[in-house]
Amino acid sequence: MIKAVELNIDTTETRPLERRCDTVLELELAEHGSCILAVEAQTDPDEEKITAWPQLVSHLYAKYRRPVGLLVTTQKPATAAWARRPILCGVPGLPTTLRTTPYVIGPDNTSKVTNLADACRSVSSTVLSVAIHGRSPDTAGILGIVVDALGTVDEERAIRYADLIEGALVNALNARTWKAIMKTSTQPFVSSIRAEMRAEGEARALLLMLERRGIAVTDEARGRITACTDTQQIETWVYRAFDISTIDELFA
């Protein structure tokens, strides 16, 4: 016996919907043309994704009218197994109306880097491998190799990759090892990172000095100070900060 109740046909949402994800990429595939790839980094299972992921894929398909894929990355094997479960939506006894099956990259299907030759062969794959295995204590032993591999790509990309790796090293041993290597490495991109870190530290010190002296700092001035990577310029501002009475005098 089937009992049917007619529902309101207005599907307008009455509450805000969360459709954001970590990254959305437009890919150009040689044989298949343009497509959309949504990328999610998932730490732990989250049952809210059972409705959020199909909604995200459907929204992107409706918006761009192109094939859409969902890629999930995780550092935890249990989360990888959970995320691989297909999400099915349909009426029992009828063909499945909507099926969402993420492609999951986790520790169980991502090889670890073991030598410099492999690390240099595909630096982007090396970065992904380190990010996926960021919780494994074994990763500490290959971080020196990883830094040398980053030295083979252009400086801007190396700095961006280094930032991604640092954020992924949630294991305390890995984090300490990475910081120690970054303090001693002679790779040019590491020197640039250290210079940026020094500039950030000096900018924070300058802002604290201005606050202590009671100098009102506008949002524009704060942004100019924190965005400056020239340590000599910041040092000039620091010396000037002892004698100024307004923030405009700092940049005079």
Average pLDDT estimate for 202-208: 85
Average pLDDT estimate for 242-251: 87
Q: What is the mean pLDDT of the chain?
A: 87
Do 103 and 92 meet the contact criterion of CB atoms below 8 Å apart?
no
Top-confidence residue, 148 or 21: 148
Do 202 and 191 meet the contact criterion of CB atoms below 8 Å apart?
no
Q: Is pLDDT at 210 greater than 90 in this prediction?
A: no
Helix (H) or strand (E) holding 160: helix 155-168
The per-residue pLDDT for range 24-52, each reduced to its tens digit, is 989 888 888 899 999 999 999 999 999 99
Do 148 and 116 meet the contact criterion of CB atoms below 8 Å apart?
yes
Average pLDDT estimate for 174-188: 86
What is the per-residue pLDDT for 235? 85
Distance, in Å, from the CA atom of 252 to the CA atom of 250, rounded to the nearest integer, reads 6
Q: Is pLDDT at 196 greater than 90 in this prediction?
A: no
What is the CB neighbour count within 10 angstroms for residue 116?
A: 16
Top-confidence residue, 204 or 9: 204
Q: Is pLDDT at 10 greater than 60 in this prediction?
A: no
What is the per-residue pLDDT for 2? 64
Distance, in Å, from the CA atom of 120 to the CA atom of 169, rounded to the nearest integer, reads 20
Distance, in Å, from the CA atom of 50 to the CA atom of 193, rounded to the nearest integer, reads 40
| Structure tokens that stand for 240 in this block | 């000037």
Domain boundaries, the chain: 23-108, 111-185, 193-250
Question: What's the distance, CA 89 to chain centroid?
Answer: 30
The per-residue pLDDT for range 46-77, each reduced to its tens digit, is 999 999 999 999 999 999 999 999 999 999 99
Give this prediction's pTM: 0.69
Tell me the pLDDT band of 12, cut-offs 50, 70 and 90: low
